[in-house]
Structure formats: C-alpha cells, structure tokens
A and B are shown apart, each in its own frame.
Chain A
Amino acid sequence: MIAYLIRRILYAIPILFGVNLLTFALFFVVNTPDDMARMQLGIKRVTPEAIDKWKHQHGYDKPLLFNARAGGAGTLTDTIFFEKSASMFVFDFGYSDDGRNISREVQARMLPSLAIALPTFFVGLCVYITFALLMTLFRGTALDAVGVALCVVLMSVSLLFYIIAGQFLVSKLWHWVPISGYAGGWDIFKFVALPMVVGVIGGVGSSSRWYRTIFLEEIGKDYVRTARAKGLSELRVLFRHVLKNAMIPILTGVVVVIPLLFLGSLLTESFFGIPGLGSYTIEAINAQDFSVVRAMVFLGSVLYIVGLILTDISYTVVDPRVRLQ
C-alpha cells in the first residue's frame, strides 16, 4: 500500500510538469511577454521603456526556456519557465499583479469556499442517493416514470436559472436570507443556506438519474435474486445489498471531486458574493491577472491528482477484494 502510494505520487510529478508546460505554452508562447505588457499597460501610447520596466518588475525579462548566456546550470534555471514553475511545486505562487502574496490569499479564501462547497456536497450526495433509491424501489411504476421525467427536466434547466430564481424568491420576495455576502461566526448559516440549496437542486437531475442507472444495473445481478429468494424484503435488499455493491461506481465519480471542493464553485461564489477561491479566480480572470490564473490551474490539477489517489484508497475500504500494490 505504502509502495503503491509512493509510486502514484512519483507518477504525479511528470503530470504536473506537463500541466506546467501546457500553461506555460498558453501564457508565454501564444503571447510574448511584450504582448502581455502592452495589454496590461494599455495598447496605445506605450513606450518601449515602460514595457521593459513592466517585464522587469514581473520577472518576465529573461529568456523563455533556454538561457545561453548564463552558462552552466544557469542555462536552464535562469529562465522564465524555471522561475515561474519550479516554485509552484513547493506551493509558492509568487505575487499577483496588485502585489499580494498569492499563497496567503489562497489560504485565507479556502475557508469560505469550503463552508459553501462541503455542505452542498454532502447534503447533495444524501439527497441524490435517496431520490435514486426511491426511484429504484418503485421501478417500472408511474412514480419512477415521473421521477425520471422530472430529472430530465431539472437537468435541462440552466444552473443560472436556479441561482437567479432562488435569489429572487428566497431573498427578494420572502426576505428569509440576505441575497449575497458572507460573514463568520453564527451568521454563517444565513449566508450558506441559499447557495447550498441552490447547488443541491442544480445537481439533482443529472446525479439522481446517474445513481438510478447504477442501482438498476446492480439490481439485475444474481446476488440480488438470491437475496430475494432468501425472503429478504425489498427494502432490505436495496439498503443492505444493492447500496453496498453500488459503492464502487459511486465512489469513482464522487471521491475525485472532494479535494476540488477547496477551489469552490466559480459561479455560486460570484453570484452570492462569497469571498472564496472561486470568486478569486473570476476576479483574476476579469483583471487578466495571469499569475493568479496559473496558480489556480496548478492547484486544481494537484487537487485532482490527490482525488484520484483517494479514489483508489477508498476502493480498498468498501471492497476487501481490492488490493493496491
């Protein structure tokens, strides 16, 4: 198990290197640092000196990949690629364009993101699985058909609609919770409730339908027939046998997402004014702050890889036959 984990972590390094190379190509080769400087300083009326100064300030005045003049190890290390990428592996993201330390921002904004994303995730999971189990229990009846039809309609509605309708009804018309904002302490519940409900409803269509397919696939298997032949009630079969055996396909889709919860949701956070990582990313996109976007891309892929490893570990928990080696 330990050896397996070490191998997986080592395997992550070339992938992260690839991610870095890709974002580097996107950010520095598609557009030269000169273009970016001109973009930041305004396209017209910009002197070459100003461009050089901007590039020097942001550390873009070096060769891209290969520095022939530096000599020795410097040919590879004294370049933009090395300086901007190597530090990422120790989670030092440098400074954003407005001069703030990105790593510190990320730490501070992680908590609000989690405060929204975690409850949404877990409540959502419970709701979706319950809904799917109910549909499975009543499979073939009109109730099941209505459920599936409802799912298709719900998944055809844009998430934007749920957010706007939720804000309009709950906050503007009924004044239950504030429209947007965030605060610590006990007030947090006021601000988390609406985004959470909207997030759960937004996912109910596609997720419930997906879990229903998983359960239906399990229910056709031989062990279910055996369990029924033993005289177990349908409910018992569903909860004791089907749910347990459906764990592997469920975990495959679910565990990967858990680490990514740290990043929050771009849409929810910006609509509800949550000062989390999602809104941080949107602000960076709108301000064209490349270092922040790059840092978020890197962080995202690290978390995704962590999620993949966690998925493998979770298999061993739910299925004793799975051994990692």
Chain B
Amino acid sequence: MKPVILSTDALIFLLIAAGIVSAWYIRQRPHLMLPWRRVAQSSVGMVSLLLLSLFVIVGVLDSLHYRVALSEKNNGQTVYAPEVLSAFDALVGGLRTRVEKTYSAPLATHLYAKESMETPDGKVTRDYPRLKFGGAHLADPDNERGGDVARRALIGALLGLLTAVIFIAVVGWIKRSVSTQKIGERKIDGRYAALYPPYTKRMLLAAAFILAILIGAIANLATVYHVLGTDKVGQDVLYLSLKSIRTGLVIGTVTTLVMLPFALLLGVAAGYLRGWVDDVIQYIYTVLSSIPSVLLIAAAVLMMQVVIEMHADWFTTSAARADVRLLCLCLILGVTSWTGLCRLLRGETLKLRELEYIQAAQAFGVSSLRIMTRHILPNVMHIVLISVVMDFSGLVLAEAVLSYIGVGVDPTTISFGNMINAARLEMGREPMVWWSLASAFVFMLLLVLAANLFADAVRDAFDPRLNRTEV
C-alpha cells in the first residue's frame, strides 16, 4: 500500500490545518469567541453544523488516498494497482465492489430489465434475473423481502441509537470532568461555561439521535441490499452519492481558499493605498467581472482541457488527471468569483482608513504594510467569513450546472453533476428509473440546505449592522 496525495487532498489538509490553528487562536481570545458563541445560540445553526460535519467527515475520509500493492513483483520492485482508493472506499468496502449488471430499484432483489435465461431443464424464458448481491441471502425473495428489510432496518436503527447514546454519554462525562477542573481554576473567566443554551442542546441531541437512527438503519441494510438501487453499469447509488460529497466540498471550499489571498491582498491594497494602485486593481476586476462568468468559465475550461489532453504524460494515474482537472475548475471558479469580495473589501477599507485609530497609527509612523495587516485586516475579517460561508452553497450548486453544460469536473470524477447528467436521460424509460436522479438531488439538497442555514447563522452572528444586546 502506498499513500497518494492528490493536489486537492493537499489543499484540503491545508484547509483543515488552518481551521484547527484558527480555532485554537480564537478559543484563546474571548472577544473573538463572542460571535461564535452567538452562532452556538442558534439551534438551527447548530443542527445544520452537525449535518455539515457528517458530510465533512465523509469528505475527509474520502481524501485519504492510497494505491494497493499488487502481489506480483517487477524486478523486485513492488507494482501498485492503477486505481487510486481512499480510506472511505476501504471503510465501506462492499458498497464499491458489489457491482450488479445494470439498473435495479432501491432494495430490489431482481434486475430492472428482463433477460433471457436458461432454466435447468434447458428451456429459455424471459424474466427478471436475481441480483448477484442485492438480497442474495434470501431464498424466497418475493415473500421474505419485506420482513427482512424491516427487521434489518430496526436492528440497524437500534444499534445506531445505542452508539449515539454511548458516544454522547462519554463526551458529556469527559466534558463535565474537564470543566469542573477548569472552572475550579479560574472562576471569573466564563470560557468553560456551557456553550449553548438548554433549548439548543435539546434540539442538537434530538437531531443527533434522528441522524444516528437513520444512518444505523441505512448502514445495516446496505450490507446486503442496494439501499438506493444501482445505476446503468450496476454501481451502488448510495456509494456514488456519498462519493459525490467530496467533490462538492472540494469545489465549495478549495475555490474559496485559492481566491481568498487575491481578494484580500488586492481589495485591502486598493482601498488603503488609493491612487494608481487603486486604478489598476479596479481595472483588473472590472475587466474580469464584465465577462459573464459562465462564458469565462466555459472558455477557460475548454482551454484547460486542451492543455490536459496535449500533455497526457504529466499524470501517472487517471485519478491524478481527473483531480488536476477538478483543481483547475476550482481555480477558474475562484478567478471569476473573487471580484465581488474584492469590491466589498475595498469599500470597507476605504471606510476604515478614515477612522481615528488608523490616522493615529499613520501619525506614529507605522508603515503602510503594517497598518494593512495589523489594523485593517482583522477588522474586515467578518466580511471575509460571511462571504466565504455564503459562497459555499452557490458553488456546490454551480458544479452540477457546469458539469451538465460540459465544462465541469472530469467525466470520470464522481460528482452530483455527473450523476444527474447520467440519470437525466433515463427519465424517459418505462418504468421510470428515478432513484439515481432522486438520490443525487436529495443529497445535494441536504448539503446545500445545511450550508445555507449555517451560513445564515454565521451571518446573523457576525454582521455588525444587526444591532443586538451582547450575550
């Protein structure tokens, strides 16, 4: 086994590291902690955060890539399989490998289409063949299936609930023992007091139990059934939907990560330095924003495709190639979307630079660079944060649309857009193949809805225009 770090993996790890560092930094400073406490007050925000973190866990597991070593050796050197797997693939194991022949409905035991089959006595009949894996343990699927599904779902749900109860009890116990110690040490500093009010806590617990029950039931069923059916080439739709999460998360977060430095640097510099710097930066972003973004993305992706196709020798595996394409898409989306944030930051900096504390800093002879980084940057961070969380859901939705137009992710990358694209043509079949499309839409809706609700909670907590009494 050999670990493989794809380019987007590296950026995801960077993002996680940055997240941990800033969380630690904020935790040390009560004034930075205050708006986050307000986020924690919002029950909707916390529940959506819970859902989002489940998605993130799947996405991160799916970013730990490796290649399996093959048994045969080439001149003493280990040979690795061409396909790149992830920790998530290893975890769900069977979901990936239990591939049927073609479509089958959710929880089905038979294929979707009739086939000619030879009966033991040599006659040829046309009937729905049994699935190789879905419900293969049943002797008489027509009668046994309903009871078996219900039993397995119930057992799974109970196991899920049990796990959740144990987990929450352990976390609660650890927290209580830690907080009693800490509060004993410093009573005045209220940092270790409960983060959220009782109502939010109850909602959070309820949501956790519901999710645990659902996940438990689905996970238990998924060991022997295709819970969401299979697609055209017989792949499990649940597996595809879960794999799509990583693509959506990468598009939503890495795009922001690559555009942020530009927007911050140029926006603050334009607003603070004024003069010709401002003119040049304004010119750049006017040019970029005057091109309708879909067209610019289309043009740039077309060009990128040509480059990738001309230099096929750059990539060792097809996964690396698809990944570079994903990264390029993020870069291109970043280039087209940083102008809005840049304009906002410039406006805010223009306002800030006239304030007394900046003028005082100037009078003391503090250098422009230092004023920008020490005095202006921290005071525009709330704008950055708000626009980052607000952009996320839009980017996830954009991926689906772009993939449909043909300028999105690589066709081999598993993504919501590609799933929808592949399933769209099957709506015309009789009986209809709806499960692929429905799963893609439902998973996307859950991700985007959770992101939107969380973004609202963050905006409400950080927007200084909303006057509120401090908590």
- Residues of A whose CB lies within 8 Å of any CB of B are 14-15, 18-19, 22-23, 26-27, 30-31, 35-36, 38-39, 43, 152-153, 155-161, 164, 167-168, 172, 260, 263, 266-267, 270, 281-282, 285-286, 288, 290, 293-294, 296-297, 300-301, 304-305
CB of B188 within 8 Å of the partner chain = no
| CB <8 Å contact, B424 and A164 | yes
Query: What are 22 of the A-B contact pairs (CB < 8 Å)?
Result: A15-B283, A15-B287, A18-B287, A19-B290, A27-B303, A31-B306, A35-B307, A152-B452, A156-B449, A157-B448, A158-B397, A158-B400, A158-B420, A160-B404, A164-B427, A172-B428, A266-B405, A282-B405, A285-B406, A297-B299, A301-B292, A304-B289
Beta-carbon contact of B405 and A288 below 8 Å: no
B295 at the interface (CB under 8 A from A): yes
B389 within 8 A of A: no
> Among B286, B307, B420, B448, which residue has the most Cβ atoms of chain A within 10 A?
B286
Cα(A158)–Cα(B415), bound, Å: 14
Cross-interface CB contact of B299 among A23, A158, A304, cutoff 8 Å: A23
Contact of B298 among A35, A155, A267, A293 (CB under 8 A): A293
Residues of B389-416 contacting chain A, CB below 8 A: 393, 397, 400-401, 404-407, 416
CB B21 to nearest CB in A, in angstroms, measures 31
Does more than half of chain A's interface fall in helix, strand or loop, or is it mixed? helix
Inter-chain contact B441/A161, CB cutoff 8 Å: yes
- Tell me the complex Cα distance, A14–B456, Å: 39
B294 contacts the other chain (Cβ, under 8 Å)?
yes
Q: Is the CB of A159 within 8 A of B401?
A: yes
B96 to chain A, nearest CB (A): 26
- Given A159-B401, A160-B404, A304-B290: A281 in contact with B295 (beta carbons within 8 A): yes
- The interface size bin for chain B is 35 or more
| B254 touches A (CB below 8 Å) | no
Cβ–Cβ contact B307 & A285, under 8 A: no
Which of A156, A161, A266 is most buried by chain B, counting CB atoms within 10 A of its CB?
A156
| Residue in B287, B306, B400 whose CB lies within 8 Å of A36 | B306
**B290 touching A15, Cβ below 8 Å:** yes
How far apart sit A38 and B391, CA to CA, in the bound complex (Å)? 38
Q: B441's contact among A15, A158, A288, by CB below 8 Å, is which?
A: A158
Residues of chain A with a CB closer than 8 A to B406's CB: 282, 285-286
Contacts of B294 in A (CB 8 A): 266
Which residues of the partner chain A approach B303 to less than 8 Å between Cβ atoms? 26-27, 30-31
CB distance from B452 to the nearest CB of A (A): 5
Query: Which residue of chain B has the shortest Cβ distance to A152 in the bound complex?
Result: B452
Contact of B290 with A35 in the complex, beta carbons under 8 Å = no
Q: A158-B444, A296-B295 are in contact. Are A26 and B300 (CB under 8 A)?
A: yes
Q: How far is the CA of A167 from the CA of B78 in the complex (A)?
A: 53
Name the one of B283, B310, B424, B441 contacting A18, with C-beta atoms under 8 angstroms. Answer: B283
| Of the residues A22, A153, A263, A270, contact of B292 by C-beta under 8 Å | A263
User: How long is the Cα–Cα vector from A267 to B421 in the complex, in angstroms?
Assistant: 12
B296 touching A31 by the CB < 8 A rule? Answer: no
CA distance A27 to B306 in the complex (A): 10
Cα separation A60 to B310 with both chains bound (whole Å): 19
CB distance from B124 to the nearest CB of A (A): 35
B17 CB–A CB distance under 8 Å: no
* Bound Cα distance from A167 to B432, whole angstroms: 14
- Could you tell me if A301 and B291 are in contact, using CB atoms closer than 8 angstroms? yes
A153 vs B444: C-alpha distance in the bound complex, in angstroms? 12
Smallest CB gap from A27: residue in B: B303
Bound: A23/B400 CA distance, A = 25
Tell me the complex Cα distance, A23–B299, Å.
Answer: 8
User: Is B178 in the interface zone, CB < 8 Å from A?
Assistant: no
Question: Known contacts A43-B309, A293-B302; is A156 also within 8 Å of B445 by CB?
Answer: yes
Bound: A14/B309 CA distance, A: 34
Contacting residues, chain A, for B416 (C-beta < 8 A): 158
B397 touches A159 (CB 8 A): yes
Check if B307 sits within 8 Å of A152, measured CB to CB. no
The closest CB in chain A to the CB of B286 belongs to A15
Say whether, besides A18-B283, A164-B427, A300 and B295 are in contact (CB < 8 Å). yes
Q: CB-CB < 8 A to B404: which residues of A?
A: 160, 267
Mask, B420-458, CB within 8 Å of A = 1, is 100010011000000001000100110011001100100
Q: How far is the CA of A201 from the CA of B455 in the complex (A)?
A: 22
Give chain B interface residues in 349-401, CB to chain A under 8 Å: 393, 397, 400-401
